[in-house]
Structure 1
Amino acid sequence: MRTRFIYICSPCRGDMEKNITKAQGYCREAAQLFHDVVPIAPHVYCTQFLDDTQPEERAAGMDMGIALLSMCSEIWVYGMENPSEGMKREIEYATEHGILVRDAVEVYRHTGEEPPDTELGDALIVLPSHVGSTNGIAAVESTTVRISGEAVVELAHELRKHPGHDITLEAEA
């Protein structure tokens, strides 16, 4: 199942036709080589109904791209050594919002290798609760909740997909 939404960051301006064709190829390659990836390239999609040469429509396209980027877990940068202005804005947004920024060259360099050991620890949350008082002395107990690292990562992805909404985690029995 494809569960990783990956933002494809590459140039659009300049030779737009050539750059869009390249972005389509990057998406195809990502989808073929990584069976858990959903590649997201707004300049492939948005240029179908917006005119990138019109400042207002370019701004709308960039805003839509940032909205899509906010739902992704990673941004793969094609041309990390010389990003366009639009790419710089996307990279900056990703960095500020905790989205993993990866040089596409490095992503593909390690294709087919075993992924590094990324076992996560658990998050322990201590919740104090007032139990009562004895002889005027407050008795306080606490409850510790353990959340697996994987659940924390999944929670972060869900919160990023649904900004401003509460997300409920239910413990498995």
Structure 2
Amino acid sequence: MEKVYIISRYRAFTERGREFNRRVARYFCRKVILEGKQPIAPHLYYTQFLDDGDERERRIGTQIGIKELREADEFLLILIDGKISEGMYAEIREATKEGKRGRIICMTRKEIEEVME
């Protein structure tokens, strides 16, 4: 089964913003599964037990995520309102360096909210 690494925002200024970002990631993970592929979304998994606000724990989660990105067959980059976070930037840089094939989805917040309903 092909593995698809999900690149999307996690960090936000508010808990409401983080929840929105988690919903986006879950939505696209589901779409990937329905395509018959395995989604890899470290920002959903590791934030369940690592503290994203603690730089050491964030770095650990990021390092594991980059390892998983290297092992993935492709990536899916999700841009909402054209915003790229620091973490996304690192993942994009790594995917480019590795020569991964990928897809990019660009949507506005309003568009993604409508399709996630």
Name which of 2, 17, 30 aligns with 1:28. Answer: 30
Report the Cα distance in structure 1 between the residues aligned to 2:32 and 2:69, rounded to whole angstroms. Answer: 16
Aligned to 2:3: 5
Report the Cα distance in structure 2 between the residues aligned to 1:59 and 1:27, rounded to whole angstroms. Answer: 23
SS of residue in 2 equivalent to 1:78: strand
Scaled by the length of structure 2, the TM-score of the pair is 0.80
- Once the two structures are TM-superposed, the CA of residue 95 in structure 1 deviates from its matched residue by 0.5
Contact 1:95 1:101 in 2 (8 A): no
Aligned to 2:91: 90
SS of residue in 1 equivalent to 2:3: strand
The one of the two structures with greater contact order (alpha-carbon pairs below 8 A, sep at least 6) is 2
Report the Cα distance in structure 2 between the residues aligned to 1:52 and 1:89, rounded to whole angstroms. Answer: 16
Aligned length: 101
Q: Percent identity?
A: 38
Say which structure is richer in helix: 2
Aligned to 2:46: 46
Report the Cα distance in structure 2 between the residues aligned to 1:97 and 1:9, rounded to whole angstroms. Answer: 15
* 62-71 or 96-105, which deviates more: 96-105
Say which structure is richer in strand: 1
SS of residue in 2 equivalent to 1:82: coil
Structure 1 segments of 4+ aligned residues over 6 angstroms from their partners:
none
Mark the structure with the bigger radius of gyration: 1
Report the Cα distance in structure 2 between the residues aligned to 1:60 and 1:4, rounded to whole angstroms. Answer: 25
SS of residue in 2 equivalent to 1:79: strand
Scaled by the length of structure 1, the TM-score of the pair is 0.55
- Once the two structures are TM-superposed, the CA of residue 30 in structure 1 deviates from its matched residue by 1.6
Q: Unaligned stretches of 5+ in structure 2?
A: 107-117
